[in-house]
Amino acid sequence: MSSQVTQKSPEHVAIIMDGNGRWAQMRGKPRLFGHQEGARRVRDIVMACAEHGVPYLTIFAFSTENWKRTQTEVSGLMSLFKRYIRREAANLMKNGVRVRFIGDRTRLEPVLVDMMEELERMTEQNVTVNLTIAINYGSRDEVGRAVRNIARDVAAGRLDPEAVNELTLSGYLDTHVLPDPDLVIRTSGEARVSNFLLWQSAYAEYEFIDTLWPDFTAEEFEKVLGRFGKRDRRFGAVVG
């Protein structure tokens, strides 16, 4: 089996958008100011995906662990998500961006869930870029929910337990309609994956970038894509 050489751009890029709070604190501003700037940066990277032929982009907006932050910050983030949907819906439609949300919606306020579902319906025919936003998402939580659903289907006789394999689990994940990520980027200099797309990223390439998310420009994104394009992805194979 020969190695597989990547194309110019990955099919699916996933980003851990880290560093908003530090960016704000370095400027003497509250953390929410950094989150607001980070939300503006999303638009630039979505458009860069369209420009460079990256059809799938997944961004980590709020983790299942982020509820541990102060009530002020959590409430501010939830308000920011609603404001983002209101402000960006027309722009997303104009640019042919399809939006999906992944994560456990049961803990989110109903008004936000309604807005998320409406944006999903509004953009479902768009094909230029598939933007997936992870809100109240954790990979372990996602796998746990998937396994519970598999167990229910086995118990109900809808699924043969002997037929369960890794493809079965993939089909029960929030991301079952998406290709696995080819490239995972984390900004802010932290070198950890933070419970993000753990199952799906088994063979992804990783880039840990020192730049804080609000400063991560389309130009820097292009450089990361260029480095990815030079990598030799072997998927466990031995060359030679």
Dihedral sign for Cα atoms in the order 160, 164, 169, 170 = negative
Alpha-carbon gap, residue 87 to 153, rounded angstroms:
40
Helix (H, G, I), strand (E, B) or coil at 61: strand
DSSP run (H or E) holding 4: strand 4-5
**Residues in Cβ contact with 139 at an 8 Å cutoff, skipping those fewer than 6 apart:** 195, 196, 197, 198, 199
Alpha-carbon gap, residue 13 to 110, rounded angstroms:
29
Q: Please name the residue that has the structure tokens 């819906």.
A: 89
Distances (CA, A) of 63 to 3, 58, 66, 96: 35, 13, 5, 27
Q: Are strands 12-16 and 183-186 parallel, antiparallel or unpaired?
A: parallel
Q: DSSP states of 96-147 as a string?
A: TEEEEEES-GGGS-HHHHHHHHHHHHHHTT--SEEEEEEEEE-HHHHHHHHH
Q: DSSP states of 156-180 as a string?
A: TTSS-GGG--HHHHHHHSTTTTSPP
Annotated catalytic residues are 18, 66
